[in-house]
Structure 1
Amino acid sequence: MSAVPPPPFRVRIGVRSYEMDVNGHVNHAVYHQYGEHARMEHFRAAGLSQHALGAHGLTIVLLSTTVHFRAELRAGDELEIDSVIDFSERKPFTMSHRIVRVAAGDGTRTDDLSAEVQCTLGVLDTTTRRLAGGPYGRLRAAASDPSLLGPGPRDALLGRPSD
């Protein structure tokens, strides 16, 4: 029997007027900020605040990020940003986000995929200033709610829950 993957972690935000570019839609760089917000909220919900990570001599670093734009966003739109973590046996791990407009600025309900954000991250050992091996295990040990990290690399491959 294969494990059912956990649902994506989700946050909601509203598009603010100061995030607009000269064309009247969200500036391209702001999509990266939306992804960052979802990542930080996901880690915070798992109990991985900077303070909690620091107590374990760790921090999380962003190694790369890519945004694929699908539909424009405008001031007043309401967004839902999900986040899914994928661990492998390697030091880097990935986090994916879908930015979905759930309501237009006029209140009309929508379900428009606006962007997809792909990030590569690592767990940095703050003493050695090097990426730490076994990021899933290290984050799981520091988390107060490790279930929000999703399955570990071997668990995902074997189709079993990580808890």
Structure 2
Amino acid sequence: MTFSTRITVRGYEIDMLGHVNNTVYFQYGEHARWECLRAAGVSPDDLMKQETAPVVLETTIRYHRELRLGDEVEVTCAFEYGEGKTFAYRQELRRADGKLAAEMTGVAGIMDLRARRLLDDPRARWRELASDPGPLGL
């Protein structure tokens, strides 16, 4: 299952060239991932009570088209699981006309904040935390 959320480009996100600053794409991706967690019933408060947090280990962005002030952007989020302590995420940012503006891929994990180490089996951890694991690809 692929989760998606909409974002409207705001004036303070524009650079001197008139399009969205490259660092804002990271923020859009982060926002969509937190919205995906929220849709699954995972809250930051629940994570903090367990002294855990999702952490990004790597993110790559490929830009295709510029985003400009007022554009409506659909940002998708899909998690992919394998073996081990990490999981992958794939995201697309599409303009309202359906054209791909950017693609993001990354690797993340769930950290034990006391031990400062990644937890084993993030898939099992999300299942424990989520009231609706569907948005998390489970």
What TM-score does the superposition give when structure 2 sets the normalisation length? 0.95
The residue that corresponds to 2:114 in the other structure is 127
* Structure 2 residue 11 is the aligned partner of structure 1 residue 31: no
Task: Find the structure with the greater CA-based Rg.
Answer: 1
Q: Is the 8 A contact 1:96 1:116 kept in 2?
A: yes
Could you tell me how far apart the structure 1 residues matched to 2:136 and 2:50 are? 17
In structure 2, list runs of 5 or more residues that go unmatched.
none
The root-mean-square deviation of aligned C-alpha atoms, in Å, is 1.1
Please report how far the alpha carbon of residue 111 of structure 1 lies from its aligned counterpart in structure 2 after TM superposition: 1.1
Report Cα offsets for 1:106-159 as digits up to 9, x if no partner: xxxx111000011211111123110011110011101111122214xxxxxxxx
The residue that corresponds to 2:101 in the other structure is 114
Could you tell me how far apart the structure 1 residues matched to 2:123 and 2:68 are? 37
Please report how far the alpha carbon of residue 54 of structure 1 lies from its aligned counterpart in structure 2 after TM superposition: 2.4
Could you tell me how far apart the structure 1 residues matched to 2:68 and 2:134 are? 34
Report Cα offsets for 1:2-38 as digits up to 9, x if no partner: xxxx2x1010010111111111111111111110110
Could you tell me how far apart the structure 1 residues matched to 2:13 and 2:38 are? 24
Could you tell me how far apart the structure 2 residues matched to 1:128 and 1:22 are? 43
Report Cα offsets for 1:48-69 as digits up to 9, x if no partner: 1111122333211111111100
Could you tell me how far apart the structure 1 residues matched to 2:91 and 2:84 are? 21
Could you tell me how far apart the structure 2 residues matched to 1:149 and 1:56 are? 19
In structure 1, list runs of 5 or more residues that go unmatched.
1-5, 103-109, 152-163
Matches of residues 144-159 of structure 1 in structure 2 within 5 Å? Answer: 144-151=131-138
* Structure 2 residue 125 is the aligned partner of structure 1 residue 138: yes
The residue that corresponds to 1:157 in the other structure is none
Matches of residues 3-82 of structure 1 in structure 2 within 5 Å? Answer: 6=1, 8-82=2-76
- Determine which of 82, 87, 110 is the counterpart of 1:88: 82
Instruction: Say how many residue pairs are matched.
Output: 138
What TM-score does the superposition give when structure 1 sets the normalisation length? 0.81
Could you tell me how far apart the structure 2 residues matched to 1:21 and 1:94 are? 30
Could you tell me how far apart the structure 2 residues matched to 1:111 and 1:143 are? 30
Q: Is the 8 A contact 1:48 1:142 kept in 2?
A: yes
Which letter maps to 1:148?
Answer: P
